[in-house]
Chains A and B, each alone.
Chain A
Amino acid sequence: MVTVVGVAYRGQIPLQDIRIDFQVEAVTPPAASGFGVRKTVSLTGPLSETEQLRLRRAAEYCPVGQLFTKGALAIEDQVAYSAQGTAPEAVVPAGLVPQPLLDALPTCPPGAVHGRYLGDTREYADSGVLQQEGEVKLYLTCENLTRPGRWTILAGHSSAGWMPPPVPLAYGALAASTVTTLRQFVSRDAWPPAGFHVEIIPQGAGNRDHAQAAAAAGALNARRAVRKIVLHEAPGVSPVQAIEAALQHDPLSLSFRRGGVLLGEQIVVT
């Protein structure tokens, strides 16, 4: 959303508002990554057909959309061992935590994500030039076996840094998904008792202006990142093969690698 806003500003396109809605569906592997989305982009403003096409292309080639649909992220996996205390006291080591019956539960329940652009959070320099595209309010809801869950978060570009930009948020999701998948598919006996964590180390990340220029041009903006699984003590038996096998089931890793998540897409202009 903030990419489209930035492209519209730089292209002097009279975009007055934008909203994005995703319906999330469970899709059975191996044909897909375990989930799929249907995307609706709603644009408001007196937009010519050419301007609509430019914004449609920017939406298609936004940095996170490229991760999902263009294979723009190359992930290098590493397994490391750290003897230093990497888990704060509040965190219970994974190996000691009773796990829910993950095998019996859907990892991606159906639901929706609704993005609403907060236009009055845009920031301008004294010269009048747009400095920050502003904030997006995101409503998330999904089914659970008790009752639906609901959450609200912010993301976007802000000089005060109240919320993460979209790409770091996507990397955070990848790290979280990796932990969930490893817990689900690697036997608890394979982990050292002190547990593990996952790190993401972006490399050559580029910047917002470059990403928006690529989106405006409909060009691939390739990224690389190291994903490191860090064991908190030396394992008795190397779990590398078990980890590698488990990562083949990670829905975000799969979707970033082979796409197929976008089940449908429409642009509505009012």
Chain B
Amino acid sequence: MNERENSVNSTDYVYRAIHPNRNFIKADGSISSAAFKDPKGLSVEQGLGRADKDVVTHIRQAKLQGKITKISVKVCINANITIYNDKAKNIYHRLLLNRPYDHNGNNTLTKTQARALATNISALL
């Protein structure tokens, strides 16, 4: 693990805004694992001790309007998902990767990892 795959607190959470066009919402209202598959890595915000409403406000400032999923870091750890600090301007921004970051490769989460996220959402904000 390099310095960017930072050690994370397992009691923390990551937050992912689901695109608002309803493409990823199932008939029963739950979220499809397809929402968590992105070859560029899955953009999330890490909580880092913030209250949910503060995270939501921060994400909304970036003009992301869809529902926001809150997922425990424990779920990521158990699914062997790499939480990668890409040192973006947004200090809370992280990428969820299927393995250590590959600049040229496909960083899509595996099916097992994407489903682990989709079926372990702590809250929809």
Do chains A and B interact in one complex?
no
Query: Which residues of A are at the interface with B, using a C-beta cutoff of 8 A?
Result: none
Query: Which residues of B are at the interface with A, using a C-beta cutoff of 8 A?
Result: none
